[in-house]
Structure 1
Amino acid sequence: MRARTFAQLPAFEFVDRLGKGAHAVIYLAVERSTRSKFAIKHIVRRKAEDDRFLEQAQTEYEVARQFEHPYLRRCFDIVRVRKWLRTQELFLTMEYAEGETLESHCPVSMDGIVALFAKVAEGLGALHKLGYAHADMKPNNIILTRDGGLKIIDFGQSCPLGTRKTRVQGTPDYMAPEQVWRREIDQRTDVFNLGATMYWVVTGKSFRTQMQTAPTGSKMIELEARVDNAPPHELNPRVPIALSRLISECVETSPDRRPRDMRDVVSRLETIQLLLAKRAAAADRGADADAGPAAPQRGRP
């Protein structure tokens, strides 16, 4: 796109469009004074139903402005354009994370997958220490950055730990039962969302939620039963039993049967990393033994 400016943000030059959804456009912008790059989300209210997307952007700002963590995308500013005392347009200035989503670019190696999710769990743990649940953890909300890091994004559905939401929010393939039934959300809700995300990455299949039906006003969400979910190691023999067991525990129906928090998840993932490293070292030693002794060097004639 051609560089452009918005009158409401004269300090920025908008140089590219990073993405467009049904309700928002995200631009790459350069701050004129510093030449630093930022991502700016732009939302326009076109009808009354759009109010909830403005509310989610406000929530994202209120949550993401509080942290400064390598695995969490930070928000810096929010600009509201009002008409007749109602917000009609909104700009959210965010940290720019150059890379691809986990949904579009999955790691191939098992040790790479485990290392990735240890970082994701660490980032979510930092969010929980601030008193919030992400409540929409999924592959599309994890950016793998060009420098080998990652950023958890999209805090629009985040809420204080212990919240009971008045409407069902989340992504069906990753929603915890308590989200579907509008029960209390806490750090174990994110444990479930993360477990469903790990399940998708290691098996290539979406986890079918455990709840078959749940009321949502006048509608019913029809969801498939847990009985159809095979353990990860049965779908992918490369998955270590310890990882398969962790994922299965993360997606337990009852929050009380899941790992209690992200520290527990990180600890177990780090243990699995050590197990994989030992296996790799043993395999290397076995390969060296199979190769036999090195051939003697021949002297010059």
Structure 2
Amino acid sequence: MTTLPMPATMTQLPKEIDGYPILSLIGEGAFSKIYAAKDPKTRQLLALKHVIINDPKKDDRWVEQMESETRIANALDHPVLRKVFHFKRQRRWLKSLGAVMLMEFVDGRTLDVIKPDVQETIRIFIHLAQGLQHIEQLGFVHCDMKPINVLVTSNGDVKIIDLGQACESGTVKKRIQGTPGYMAPEQAHRREITPATDVYNLGATMYWVLCGRVIPTALPPRGQNNGLTTGAVEERFLKPPIPANEVNPDVPNIVAKTIQEAVDPDPARRITMSKFLERLEMAQGLLKSGNGQEFEI
């Protein structure tokens, strides 16, 4: 989802969707839009995700994805994860017209916009690791951690959003899903998805926040594969990223090493999410004590 810098004007907005008054457009993806809406009974502010089906043969999978997102979100309960309240397919007679999903409204900015310093980055990623650890403990994988899927509010609350690609651990997906520049090799090659996938995605995301660049991944962003391949890059050809503390000297050694271990192309060699969290909490304590760069692991 791409967060829009300004809400759409009222002339561009539907007056209501499925009985919910629409206030503004707050996000837009390839096949869906997210609006700020109001519950007509409680007056509660909500985020409303809307998918319209134009071609049932092609578009119904986006509705199925929303239905899966609702099911997984309802199985989870953690303050870092945005809540999903309701899902409804829109039909007319036997024809499927689309779907509506009602979610917790989060008044925040995405991680790519706020550009936090190193200490704040570590604080934010401690929360993210805690949320992803909860997902792992319930048997799921988020599968799409990236800067625009993290919201930070003005009072510092952190929210992981968009469970649209989440799945059960052990899933082998029928198509490539993920985001180039953050995607783990097993996603690019349609292999088994495990909690190690989220570790990779989280490490790649933290590297981008701290260094302002993506790591070399099996599916690079468009235009960044130097014309060597038109498909996914095999793991043996992947070079490790330049350590984060060599790109940004303010990054503590322990954090740089943790990221390197998180983005190992081999899932079996990656650091675990619990160890990722433990290292970040250690780094946070060291920075507060003024010894951030003196600790080696």
Unaligned runs of 5+ in 1: 213-218, 283-301
Structure 1: distance between partners of 2:22 and 2:75: 25
Counterpart residue number, 1:221: 231
Match among 244, 248, 253 for residue 232 of structure 1:
244
Change (3 A) 1:208 1:147: same
Deviation at 1:32, TM superposition (A): 2.2
Match among 35, 42, 45 for residue 27 of structure 1:
35
Task: Report how many aligned residue pairs link the two structures.
Answer: 272
Counterpart residue number, 1:247: 259
Change (3 A) 1:196 1:281: closer
Match among 171, 186, 208 for residue 178 of structure 1:
186
Secondary structure of 2:109's partner?
Answer: strand
CA RMSD in angstroms, aligned pairs only? 2.2
Change (3 A) 1:177 1:4: closer
Match among 80, 85, 91 for residue 76 of structure 1:
85
Change (3 A) 1:86 1:223: farther
Counterpart residue number, 1:37: 45
The one-letter code matched in structure 2 to 1:221 is G
Secondary structure of 2:286's partner?
Answer: helix
Counterpart residue number, 1:265: 276
The question of whether the paired residues in 2 share the 8 Å contact of 1:4 and 1:15 is answered with no
TM-score (norm. length: structure 2): 0.85
Structure 2: distance between partners of 1:237 and 1:194: 20
Q: What pairs up with 1:97-108 in 2 under 5 angstroms? A: 97-108=106-117
Deviation at 1:22, TM superposition (A): 2.7
Counterpart residue number, 1:56: 65
The one-letter code matched in structure 2 to 1:49 is K
The one-letter code matched in structure 2 to 1:237 is P
The question of whether the paired residues in 1 share the 8 Å contact of 2:218 and 2:232 is answered with no
Match among 198, 206, 213 for residue 205 of structure 1:
213
Deviation at 1:86, TM superposition (A): 4.4
Deviation at 1:52, TM superposition (A): 2.3
Structure 2: distance between partners of 1:270 and 1:86: 52
Deviation at 1:143, TM superposition (A): 0.6
Unaligned runs of 5+ in 2: 1-8, 221-228
Match among 149, 159, 176 for residue 141 of structure 1:
149
The question of whether the paired residues in 1 share the 8 Å contact of 2:145 and 2:182 is answered with yes
Counterpart residue number, 2:285: 274
Larger Rg: 1
The one-letter code matched in structure 1 to 2:212 is G
Secondary structure of 2:37's partner?
Answer: strand
Structure 2: distance between partners of 1:211 and 1:27: 31
The question of whether the paired residues in 2 share the 8 Å contact of 1:80 and 1:89 is answered with yes
Matched, 1:154 2:166: no
- Which consecutive segments of 4 or more residues in structure 1 shift more than 4 A? 222-225
Counterpart residue number, 2:4: none
TM-score (norm. length: structure 1): 0.84
Structure 2: distance between partners of 1:141 and 1:50: 23
Structure 1: distance between partners of 2:291 and 2:43: 45
The one-letter code matched in structure 2 to 1:240 is P
Secondary structure of 1:104's partner?
Answer: helix
The one-letter code matched in structure 1 to 2:71 is E
